[in-house]
Structure 1
Amino acid sequence: MNIIKTILNDFPVIILDGALATELEKRGFNINDSLWSAKILAENPKAIEDVHYDYFVSGADCAITSSYQATIDGFMNKGYTKSQSESFIKRSVEIARNARDRFWAETSNRKNRHKPFIAGSVGPYGAYLADGSEYSGNYEVSEKKLIDFHRTRIKFLVEAGIDILACETIPGLTEAKVIVKLLEEFPKIYAWISFSCKNDHEISEGTTIKECANFLNSCEQVAAVGVNCTAPKYINSLIGEIKKVSNKPIVVYPNSGEKYDVCSKTWYGDSSSEAFSIAAREWFKNGAKLIGGCCRTTPDYIKAVFKILKK
């Protein structure tokens, strides 16, 4: 079932959740690690469940699992067994589902809402490398290497019962094409593919978003296409470029608007939930159908987006 199509038949917009890793960091967890937020999968799964739950309360129609940087090799490099590593990836789905079911059990939460769904996060190969290449796409590996890398995690997420795959922060078209090819091995599952972008018309590696959207438009298992982990100031233009060549629902979940210093590993600049929600209204008016937040956005951001869009 294409869950995105199903919900959009009844509602004009789907509200996604916001940041997971930086929200965990805000709550006192140390994620300065090659596993990033996946580290907490092994150490404190209840903390992840609480973040998911808070996003549902704030208005999110979807929880994106904490599997963005969860890979077998990544966990095994930290000393976990292969069996443990597999269980952590599947646990990310169980955690999100537990949060969703806890929220949905409270009948007062069901008013004018669709039952929230679970999107299995699939980060790019560069996220596993943890060297910054997830924002450039400059990793020279074979197509077979990429397929083998993504296959294992996708297999475990599908087996764990996700509703859709969220193939996110993809920096290059080649990797997107690999994911589309791999989806054929899982014919019953749909995915959205969202790219990280460096300006108002190019994804991180330099390919235009228009070329990417044009390729994905003919891919049956791709339920939506868009951008994430990108500066909000570029979103309206990127939506416009996608609309020129694609009739698929457009998904956008940019960063808060703050900037990240890769040297000091710190964020700087100003942002606010109010400004973000006002921008979200423009993204919706311009054609985005799935809207949420990425790095540094919080439950307050999603609550503000929910209020301004669900009117």
Structure 2
Amino acid sequence: MLSLTDLLNRGPVVSDGAMATELEKRGVTTNSALWSATAMLDHPEAIQAVHQSYLAAGAQIMTTNTYQANVPAFEQAGIPLAQARQLIQQAVKIAHTARDVSGVTDASIAGSIGPYGAYLADGSEYTGAYQLTTTAYQEFHRKRLALMMTAGVDVLALETMPRLDEVQALVQLITATWSQQPYWVSFSIKDPQTLCDGTPLATAAQWVAAQPNVVAVGVNCTTLENIEPALATLKAAVNIPLIVYPNSGDQYDPVTKTWQSTNLSHQFSAFVPRWLAAGARIIGGCCRTTPADITTVAEMVK
């Protein structure tokens, strides 16, 4: 099968969209600290159905349902260690099954690694209002990474990352332990020039671009109107593929864990040509985006 780098050499690549939104449509409750990882416990078939819906829409990347699935979070929810480990690997296996069933053999399976802030389940991935030592970051991420690598992912997705120091710790861990493993880094931003922790986006992207095995850098889980100026910031700073996957236009309230529509809701497709023109090489969707949005991206990329 083709690697993600091979796919990028052929032209822009289409990634998938939201998992939790599609799980909710299938009757899965996601408004807990575990978020979409809740489905691992009692609705694994729904996760597979969501993956297959995105492949059918034209996605060339499937992101595992592991953003908020980590051993400490499962243990906090009362799940025994052995089961927590099994659930994380099961998420990867479900993505493999979806790919096999769909017959889209060149789809890359991206192992989703959310930040420490996602584990806090208080919206910290949008503020960066936490700080650990390099060792503490690495110890937090190590178990999930090892489980996912054993289960078999094509690329790692270090996503919604609000802090450069956490990304540096993670990338150092990956390159030291799995020296050939490709990955992308996607930041959580305060504005099109700045990470949530205050680091200039250009500075963060330049650090990432200088690391081994990185396939793309970009931003995700931000508003539609932030993407084009963020791409301008990134394009001026680095010369590696740029990845973007914004939210649908709806606004999230981390306190109530609910979404409200805005005047940009359902305007996703109108922005895609502008992102392509601004240099995006991988385009997908984050929260509240749907297979219909990904179909639009696939059609425009073609």
Aligned twin of 1:169: 160
**Structure 1 residues 166-216: Cα deviation after superposition (integer angstroms, max 9, x where no partner):** 000000111111111111211121110000112121111221111111111
Q: Distance in 1 between matches of 2:39 and 2:158?
A: 21
- Pairwise CA distance, 1:66: 0.2
Aligned twin of 2:288: 296
Q: Distance in 2 between matches of 1:308 and 1:202?
A: 29
Aligned twin of 2:90: 91
Residues 119 and 164, structure 1, Cα contact 8 Å, conserved in 2: yes
Q: Distance in 1 between matches of 2:256 and 2:88?
A: 30
Residues 120 and 162, structure 1, Cα contact 8 Å, conserved in 2: yes
Secondary structure at 1:37's aligned position in 2? helix
Greater CA drift, 299-308 or 53-62 = 299-308
Aligned twin of 1:33: 32
Secondary structure at 1:251's aligned position in 2? strand
Runs of 4+ in structure 1 off by over 6 angstroms are: none
Aligned twin of 1:15: 14
Residues 251 and 291, structure 1, Cα contact 8 Å, conserved in 2: yes
Q: How does 1:127-206 map to 2 (within 5 A)?
A: 127-184=118-175, 185-206=177-198
Aligned twin of 2:223: 231
Aligned twin of 1:107: none
Q: Flag the 1:154–1:261 CA change in 2: closer, same or farther, 3 A.
A: same
What amino acid does structure 1 have at the position aligned with 2:128? G
Aligned twin of 1:279: 271
Task: Give the aligned length.
Answer: 300
Q: Distance in 1 between matches of 2:245 and 2:191?
A: 15
Q: Distance in 2 between matches of 1:140 and 1:169?
A: 16
- Pairwise CA distance, 1:261: 2.2
Q: Distance in 2 between matches of 1:215 and 1:54?
A: 35
Q: Distance in 1 between matches of 2:127 and 2:279?
A: 27
RMSD value over aligned CA atoms? 1.6
Greater CA drift, 214-223 or 49-58 = 214-223
Q: Distance in 1 between matches of 2:102 and 2:273?
A: 26
Secondary structure at 2:18's aligned position in 1? coil
TM-score (norm 2): 0.95
Secondary structure at 1:165's aligned position in 2? strand
Greater CA drift, 144-153 or 134-143 = 134-143
Greater CA drift, 80-89 or 256-265 = 256-265
- Pairwise CA distance, 1:90: 0.5
Residues 186 and 243, structure 2, Cα contact 8 Å, conserved in 1: yes
Unaligned runs of 5+ in 2: none
TM-score (norm 1): 0.93
Q: Distance in 1 between matches of 2:272 and 2:47?
A: 25
Percent sequence identity over aligned pairs: 42
**Structure 1 residues 132-171: Cα deviation after superposition (integer angstroms, max 9, x where no partner):** 2121111132211100011111111111010000000000
Q: Distance in 2 between matches of 1:42 and 1:187?
A: 32
Aligned twin of 1:247: 239
